[in-house]
């Protein structure tokens, strides 16, 4: 498609027995710097060796997946160009596919995590929840009255995007969604969820040890569990 005068590409994976009478969740998988849409679509080492960071295996044939391609193999989101592209992409998919528009999600790693944060900050009217991995707010975090649920995953030992930058993004969601600093444990991997958030707009944090700058092995499990709340 053409967005802001540039040709933009996205790869769509439909359930093998897709039925146009059934409304499917939509999961957007965003690639890392110097990655590509096919890397996420097919799964390579950075994507845990599995399609869409392992989420495709967990969802099976119950969701529609899309892997968009960033410009210059990244998501700089200059002047919100990538925000506009993602919005146009989702609108185009709505026109041709049967989507459960109340269950549109985004996830990504590194630069893809940064773009997931940008989506969460600005596109709460489109996306129900986001799951940034090893991200920051370097792709932007524009003010918006639309709130988005978020689960953020970040290794304490990350030497490429330091954990403090993931915490900065987390804190923006905590503030935006009016959460308290009281937490409760969720899942089986040390993740916590903040209490008192705006109704149906929870914020969760997985700050884990023994990891570097790559998605943790438990990412898909914790992300799907969070998305399944909605």
Global model pTM greater than 0.85: yes
Asked whether residue 167 is assigned to any structural domain, the reply reads: no
Q: What is the mean pLDDT of residues 169-185?
A: 98
Q: What is the mean pLDDT of residues 122-140?
A: 98
Enclosing domain of residue 141? 2-145+212-227
**Is it the case that residue 105 has pLDDT exceeding 90?**
yes
Asked whether residue 31 is assigned to any structural domain, the reply reads: yes
Asked whether residue 218 is assigned to any structural domain, the reply reads: yes
Give the total number of structural domains in the chain. Answer: 1
pLDDT score at 47: 65
pLDDT score at 210: 85
pLDDT score at 80: 97
CATH number of the domain enclosing 22: 3.40.50.1820
What is the gyration radius of the CA atoms in the chain, in angstroms?
16
Asked whether residue 165 is assigned to any structural domain, the reply reads: no
CA distances for 139 relative to 27, 41, 62, 149, 174, angstroms: 20, 22, 30, 18, 18
Q: pLDDT (tens digit, 9 = 90+) per residue, 15-54?
A: 999 999 999 999 999 999 999 999 999 998 766 789 999 9
Asked whether residue 101 is assigned to any structural domain, the reply reads: yes
Asked whether residue 164 is assigned to any structural domain, the reply reads: no
Q: In a 3-state reduction of DSSP, which class is residue 139?
A: coil
Q: pLDDT (tens digit, 9 = 90+) per residue, 132-149?
A: 999 999 999 999 999 999
């Amino acid at each position: 498609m053409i967005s802001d005068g540039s040709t933009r590409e996205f790869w769509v994976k439909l359930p093998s027995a897709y039925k146009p009478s059934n409304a499917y969740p939509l999961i957007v998988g965003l690639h890392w710097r110097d990655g590509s849409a096919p890397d996420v679509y097919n799964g390579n080492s950075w994507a845990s060796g599995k399609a869409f960071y392992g989420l495709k295996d967990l969802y099976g044939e119950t969701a529609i997946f899309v892997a968009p391609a960033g410009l210059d193999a990244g998501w700089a989101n200059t002047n919100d160009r990538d925000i506009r592209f993602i919005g146009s992409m989702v609108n185009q998919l709505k026109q041709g596919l049967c989507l459960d528009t109340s269950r549109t999600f985004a996830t990504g790693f590194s630069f893809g995590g940064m773009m997931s944060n940008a989506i969460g900050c600005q596109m709460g009217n489109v996306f129900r929840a986001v799951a940034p991995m090893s991200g920051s707010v370097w792709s932007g975090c524009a003010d918006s009255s639309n709130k988005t649920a978020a689960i953020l995953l970040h290794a304490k030992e990350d030497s490429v995007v330091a954990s403090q930058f993931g915490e900065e993004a987390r804190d923006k969601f905590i503030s935006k969604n009016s959460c308290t600093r009281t937490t409760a444990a969720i899942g089986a991997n040390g993740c916590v969820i903040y209490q008192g958030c705006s109704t149906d707009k929870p914020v969760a944090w997985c700050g884990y040890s023994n990891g570097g700058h790559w998605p943790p092995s438990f990412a898909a499990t914790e992300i799907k569990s969070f998305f399944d709340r909605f």
